């Protein structure tokens, strides 16, 4: 078997290497895969092979596919810094910041127009994030009272924002 394999190796090694190199674009890896192809043949139990060339190409092609899969898993390509320039920043633009501040000031002024108790309920619910039940418990009032104050606040602010 060893002498037969030497003959097969000398007859097909260059052809297999050329085949793999064309597909890989890398001569060193192609040589490694050719060697792996013949090691594969050596490690297999005695089998009857009808067409040794086709058999070698099948093994080489499978090794090539496995190599590509492993490369894809290992790939850790870095991204060029220029590519980050096209990614949107998480920060708002200066114009957006100014616009948001103006809107916040406008809402703050509208809240100040509300009765003191309604302001307090609005702040606890909309700013502090308390539920209606939590606001009611904290202020010792009913939930329906909280809902009425919030409805009053929202109606007032909606009306005033439309007027402007």
Q: What CATH number is given to the structural domain containing 131?
A: 1.10.10.10
- Asked if residue 96 is part of any domain, the answer here is no
- Asked if residue 94 is part of any domain, the answer here is no
* In a shared domain, residues 53 and 110: no
Domain that holds residue 13: 2-74
- Asked if residue 12 is part of any domain, the answer here is yes
Please state the pTM of the whole predicted model: 0.45
Say whether pLDDT at 52 is over 90: no
* In a shared domain, residues 119 and 68: no
CA–centroid distance for 64 within its chain? 28
* In a shared domain, residues 55 and 115: no
Other Cβ atoms closer than 10 A to 136: 19
- Asked if residue 65 is part of any domain, the answer here is yes
* In a shared domain, residues 70 and 10: yes
Q: Among 74, 93, 120, where does a domain finish?
A: 74
Q: Among 74, 96, 130, where does a domain finish?
A: 74
- What is the DSSP track for 47-59? ---S-HHHHHHHH
* In a shared domain, residues 65 and 113: no
* In a shared domain, residues 61 and 120: no
- Asked if residue 98 is part of any domain, the answer here is no
As given in the structure block, the two tokens for residue 47 are: 């089998």
Q: What CATH number is given to the structural domain containing 45?
A: 1.10.1740
Q: Among 58, 74, 90, where does a domain finish?
A: 74
Cα distance between residue 4 and residue 70, in whole Å: 32
pLDDT score of 149: 94
Q: Are 143 and 133 in contact (CB under 8 A)?
A: yes
Secondary structure element (H or E) that encloses residue 88, with its range: none
Q: Could you read off the pLDDT of 73-93 as tens digits, one per residue? A: 877 666 666 666 666 667 778
- Give the confidence band of 117 by pLDDT, cuts at 50, 70, 90: very high
pLDDT score of 37: 86
Q: Is 120 exposed, middle or buried (0-12, 13-18, 19+ CB in 10 A)?
A: middle
As given in the structure block, the two tokens for residue 43 are: 């490690």
Count of structural domains within the chain: 2
């Amino acid at each position: 078997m060893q002498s037969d394999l030497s003959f097969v190796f000398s007859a097909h090694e260059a052809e297999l290497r050329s085949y793999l190199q064309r597909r890989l674009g890398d001569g060193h890896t192609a040589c490694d895969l050719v060697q792996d192809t013949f090691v594969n043949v050596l490690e297999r139990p005695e089998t009857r092979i009808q067409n040794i060339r086709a058999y070698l190409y099948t093994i080489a092609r499978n090794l090539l596919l496995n190599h590509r899969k492993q490369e894809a898993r290992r790939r850790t390509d870095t991204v060029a810094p220029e590519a980050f320039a096209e990614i949107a920043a998480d920060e708002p633009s200066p114009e957006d910041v100014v616009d948001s501040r103006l809107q916040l000031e406008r809402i703050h002024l509208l809240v100040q127009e509300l009765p003191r108790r309604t302001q307090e309920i609005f702040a606890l619910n909309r700013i502090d994030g308390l539920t209606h039940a939590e606001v009611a418990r904290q202020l010792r009032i009913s939930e329906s009272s909280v809902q009425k104050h919030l409805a009053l606040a929202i109606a007032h602010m909606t009306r005033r924002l439309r007027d402007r």
